[in-house]
Amino acid sequence: MKRIIVLMSLVTVFVIPHISQGFVYNGFSNAEGLTFNGDASVETTDDGAVVRVGWAQQYSVGSFYQSQAVSVSNFSSCFRFRVIDVGGVLNDYNSEPGADGIAFVIQGEGLSALGSDGYGMGYGGITPSVVVEFDTWKNAEADDNNNDPDSNHIGIMLNGNINHGEGAPDTASVEERFDDGKIWYVWIDYDGQTLEVRASQNDSKPANPLLSKQINISDILSADTGYVGFSSATGQDWGNYDVLYWSFDKFDNGGDNNGGDDNGGGDNNGGGDNGGGDNNGGDNGNGGGDSSGGDNGNGNIDNGGGSDNGNVGDNNNTGDNSGTANDNGGSNSNNDNGSSDSSTNSGNDNAPAGGGGCGGGGILVILSIIGGALLITHRIE
């Protein structure tokens, strides 16, 4: 007669204030892990500690980057910015003062990369690079014939080129002004083939992008990694260009696109791991997940809180909670041995994004079985 022995494992609960696969700056009171150039610096405003990239003075230029290179083969990034104290003189084709804009920069030149001022917006001349600009000034055609479509638009620019080209392709005009003093919420997603840009004045991710472009960023940088950050500049007109919040992680295509509503461990819209099944030994369905070992045994925190961009779609952090952890497509293939991927974590004390879109709070409760393969994560808002 065979004897069956049942071993009861101890269950432990850990409450962790923050954990991230990429990095999150929910304010910049702790700017560890960032490199600043030109006029960019941390300033205290009514929004708290922000990075002021460009200043309300003539011919200011600045940039800042995450100090460690990150993977750019696919990613999701979310940030908030505000432009205040605009001024200057009216010229060119503009009916309101304030210039020149702010840009999200992906580049391979190095941490000291700083482009030209004025309509160069701090990225002009940086190569190799892929840039998403938020332009607040329409320049005269005499200014290098840069083909600005209007005085308030988004553009995708390559290799430090500030000329949109005839007909201004890869641009999108936006009705509400970027420099109207209100907070702007921006989501930039890249699945390895298409770069998508969404922007809104409320913390709810739009279903459709304002601008998208088929692009191979790795080919442009001649590498799968690069430096990510922001640049800004002023010319004869000016404004204070402030970044309030920033998160960056592996690409997150999760669920609905209405602001990253975390289902708190519920069923992943009736399915498994974002269309890829549970991460219990095979590859993740998202294609960006941990394929190094399949299941999240050994207690590894495999993107435990979902993407730090818990603001860029429905993270559904825990899949169907049937006994395996949902990788959510954002883990690092080397993320094991009981620790989260901190290779690009700035080490700051900011909590990961939660619940409502671009930014937020919350803590993670991680339930693990010692010595077993079960890892369940749940976000408490």
3-state secondary structure of 158: strand
Average pLDDT over residues 63-81: 97
pLDDT of the residue at 44: 98
User: What pLDDT is attached to residue 90?
Assistant: 66
Beta strand residue intervals within the chain, DSSP E? 11-16, 23-26, 34-38, 41-45, 48-54, 61-66, 70-71, 75-87, 101-107, 129-135, 153-158, 171-173, 183-190, 194-200, 211-214, 225-233, 238-249, 363-369, 375-380
More confident position, 228 or 152? 228
Token duo for residue 122: 């701090």
The C-alpha atoms of residue 137 and residue 135 are separated, in whole angstroms, by: 6
Specify the pLDDT at position 237.
82
Is the pLDDT confidence value at 315 over 70?
no
Q: How many CB atoms lie within 10 A of CB 281?
A: 12
Alpha carbon distance 246, 218 (integer Å): 22
Give 355-371 pLDDT, tens digit per residue: 347 875 433 333 333 33
Provide the mean pLDDT of the chain. Answer: 72
Residue 360 confidence (pLDDT)? 55
- The widest CA-to-CA distance across the chain, in whole angstroms, is 94
> What are the pLDDT digits (tens) for 231-267?
999 988 879 999 999 999 999 876 444 434 434 444 4
Is residue 310's pLDDT more than 60? no
Concatenate the DSSP letters of all residues of 239-306 into one string: EEEEEEEEEEES----S--SS----TT--BTTBSSTTS---SSS--TTSSS--SSSS--TT--SSBTB
Tell me: pLDDT of 316 over 70: no
pLDDT in tens, 331-346: 343 333 333 333 334 4
Residue 92's pLDDT is 65
Of 161, 173, 97, 160, the closest CA to residue 134 belongs to: 173
Half-sphere CA count of 112, side-chain side, radius 13 A: 0
Cis amide prior to 100 (ω within 30 degrees): yes
With beta carbons less than 8 A apart as the criterion, state whether 61 and 117 touch.
Answer: yes
- The pLDDT value given to residue 264: 40
Question: How far apart (Å, rounded) are the C-alpha atoms in residues 315 and 78?
Answer: 14
**Mean pLDDT in residue range 2-18:** 39
Confidence class of residue 94 from pLDDT cuts 50, 70 and 90?
A: low
Q: How large a percentage of the chain has pLDDT more than 70?
A: 58
Inform me whether the pLDDT recorded for 27 exceeds 60.
yes
**What values do phi and psi take at 220, rounded to 5?**
-65, -40
**pLDDT given at position 218:** 97
List alpha helices for the chain, DSSP H: 217-221
